[in-house]
Amino acid sequence: MEKIKDKRILLGCMRISGMDPKEREKLIGTALDRGINYFDHADIYGGGVSEEVFAHTVKEMGVKRDEMILQSKCGIREGRFDFSRDYILSSVDKILSRLGTDYLDVLLLHRPDALVEPQEVAEAFDRLEKEGKVLSFGVSNHNHYQIELLRKYVRQDILFNQLQFSIMHTGMIDAGLNVNLKVENSVDHDGGILDYCRLKDITIQAWSPFQYGFFEGVFLNNGKFPELNRAIKQIADKYGVTDTAVAIAWILRHPARMQAVIGTTNAGRVADIAAATDFTLTREEWYEIYRKAGNTLP
């Protein structure tokens, strides 16, 4: 399990279904060449096609199963969420079939289900583990009480929690810096999930690391954020890397040892981003970026 938690960058495969096959091979090949062998899927990505074309591509490339870490998610259905035992089990069987593998390294429950019956989740996890179909488990976008509810019944450790986090989406940090203040950033929208995950040894996987808002766009090279981009460029020039590497390095600098899920389909950008693991931002640089993103320290 440590080899999975030690991986700092995941390649998200949400958008690969519509790629040209040669470009898709180039994307995956570049990731592997740069040490990124952890691939994040979900049964809803491309309606399942993303998993199918990924499996076809790595087979054509001759990539061996033990050279990859495969993670997928289930639980989102048309107009609802579904963490029922039978749906989890059937979803995993279909995921395995599409990915052409006998097992997943990681299965995540995809966003919370308001009607979750944790006993059923426990039954599903036990069966999947017993049959060797899933080696480890996690969740996405869960708060600490939702995880605690699962932990009361689920025998396996909850090891991962996918949460939106970027330089311009910092709610998990803002509230902790503004405790006991009557300012906007003191409002805790996340229930202390960052510190909870650190206390429980749950690895946060940061999704949409270049986005601001909820899929409103990227902040890099965006005229709306001139001071932030100037600060990032200065730091990028210092380390001889791109702005994308700095944006990921900012996430990786946090002592929670988060993982970053990148969703680019550009092979060159993958190579640029991979450089984020080659340097470490100083404390001064980290806070400089945080402040230039529009945050005021108390």
Tell me the per-residue pLDDT of 153-204, one tens digit each, with 9 for 90 and over.
999 999 999 999 999 999 999 999 999 999 999 999 999 999 999 999 999 9
Q: CATH topology for 2-213+258-275?
A: TIM Barrel (3.20.20)
% of the chain residues with pLDDT over 90: 98
If one counts every other C-beta atom within 10 angstroms of the C-beta of residue 98, the result is 20
- Which residue from 119, 144, 168 is spatially nearest to 289, judged by alpha carbons? 168
- Which residue from 71, 54, 69, 42 is spatially nearest to 17, judged by alpha carbons? 54
Beta-sheet pairing, 134-140 with 158-164: parallel
pLDDT averaged over the chain? 97
Mean pLDDT over residues 249-253, rounded?
Answer: 98
| pLDDT score for 1 | 66
| pLDDT score for 140 | 98
Distance from C-alpha of 194 to C-alpha of 31, rounded to nearest angstrom: 28
- Which residue from 40, 36, 66, 35 is spatially nearest to 54, judged by alpha carbons? 40
Q: Is the pLDDT of residue 2 over 80?
A: no
Distance from C-alpha of 204 to C-alpha of 208, rounded to nearest angstrom: 13
If one counts every other C-beta atom within 10 angstroms of the C-beta of residue 79, the result is 5
| pLDDT score for 25 | 98
Distances in Å between the Cα of 155 and the Cα atoms of 119, 121, 133, 232, 264 are 10, 10, 16, 44, 35
Tokens representing residue 185 in the block: 């950033």
| pLDDT score for 213 | 79
Domain boundaries, the chain: 2-213+258-275
Q: What is the pLDDT of residues 221-246, one digit of tens each?
A: 999 999 999 999 999 999 999 999 99
Helix axes 267-274, 243-252, angle to 10 degrees: 50
Q: What is the pLDDT of residues 93-122, one digit of tens each?
A: 999 999 999 999 999 999 999 999 999 999
Is there a contact between 293 and 168 (Cβ–Cβ < 8 Å)? yes
